[in-house]
Amino acid sequence: MSVTLQLNNLHKRFGGLVAVKDVSFTLSPGEVVGLLGPNGSGKTTVMNMISGALPCDGGRVTVGAKDITRMKPHRVAKHGVARTFQLVRPLPTLTVGENVMLSLAFGHKRYWGRQARDLAEEKLAFVGLEGRGDEEVSNLNYIDQKRMEMARALASEPEILLLDEWLAGLNPSELKIGIDLVRHLQGQGMTVLLVEHIMEAVRALCSRCIVMRTGEVIADGPSEEVLSQPAVIKAYLGDDHA
């Protein structure tokens, strides 16, 4: 059963720059929500604070009843939060399956040996890489690297998945594969926070959108309503379009 993700007044400063200012929102179990905004709006900084990659300067992050605000990434993972990155960072000296097994060893639960190998193959099959666990990572094309990245995230058995521009750089046919895979997760009831610039994917996957500009939330609601708001159009396209 998925849990609620709640952010209360998150704040992050880099020197004199306020990157995130009093950001608050809640994700209900099973929601797939788009976190949108132009470059530099603070989206990835928010993801980094949720996942423990960056410390918060203020505010709180809770998963269910558990406060994870000050936790390191490996401890956040143990509380059911997983993350993908825009740039896939495989360990090139390991096979595809071994890359996934690392998450099984250090994730929500710990698996080793034969059980870990079997579970890695299960996750690879789920993302469309069945039977390819023994291959070298260098054999994978771009969409298959993205699939492996997803398998690594799912191997930690998360209840909340943070997708940071996971669909970026895919061609149209690959994009369809990626959207279908996220839909599959959605069908299983996983809670997903999706940072994305590809509006086709946002409209296909997200019933709700949260939009940021210069570190603050400027809109939060049903996707079609939010994406048609003048303040949101202005944030992306400028005054003339708004």
> Considering the entire predicted model, what is its pTM?
0.90
pLDDT digits (tens), the chain, 242 positions: 567 999 999 999 999 999 999 999 999 999 999 999 999 999 999 999 999 999 999 999 999 999 999 999 989 988 999 998 777 778 888 999 999 998 887 666 777 788 888 899 999 999 999 999 999 999 999 899 999 999 999 988 889 999 999 998 889 999 999 999 999 988 888 999 999 989 999 999 999 999 999 999 999 999 999 999 999 988 876 654 44
Q: Which pLDDT value is given to residue 107?
A: 65
Q: Check if the beta carbon of residue 79 is closer than 8 Å to that of residue 71.
A: yes
As a whole number of angstroms, the distance between CA 14 and CA 2 comes to 33
As a whole number of angstroms, the distance between CA 4 and CA 14 comes to 29
How do residues 132-148 score in pLDDT, each as one tens digit? 999 999 999 989 999 99
Q: Which pLDDT value is given to residue 115?
A: 85
Residues 6+ apart with CB under 8 A from 182: 32, 163, 192, 194, 201, 205
As a whole number of angstroms, the distance between CA 143 and CA 85 comes to 14
Q: What is the percent of the chain with per-residue pLDDT over 70, rounded to a whole number?
A: 95
As a whole number of angstroms, the distance between CA 199 and CA 217 comes to 18
Taking alpha carbons only, the member of 48, 52, 83, 53 closest to residue 66 is 52
User: Which domains are assigned to the chain?
Assistant: 1-80+161-169+191-242 (3.40.50.300), 86-157 (no CATH)
| Residue 15 region by backbone torsions, left for phi larger than 0, else alpha for psi between -120 and 50, else beta | left
Q: Check if the beta carbon of residue 84 is closer than 8 Å to that of residue 196.
A: no
Pure H helices in 79-211: 96-106, 113-126, 142-155, 172-187, 199-205
* Identity of the residue numbered 150: M
Q: Check if the beta carbon of residue 62 is closer than 8 Å to that of residue 68.
A: yes
How do residues 146-166 score in pLDDT, each as one tens digit? 999 999 999 888 899 999 999
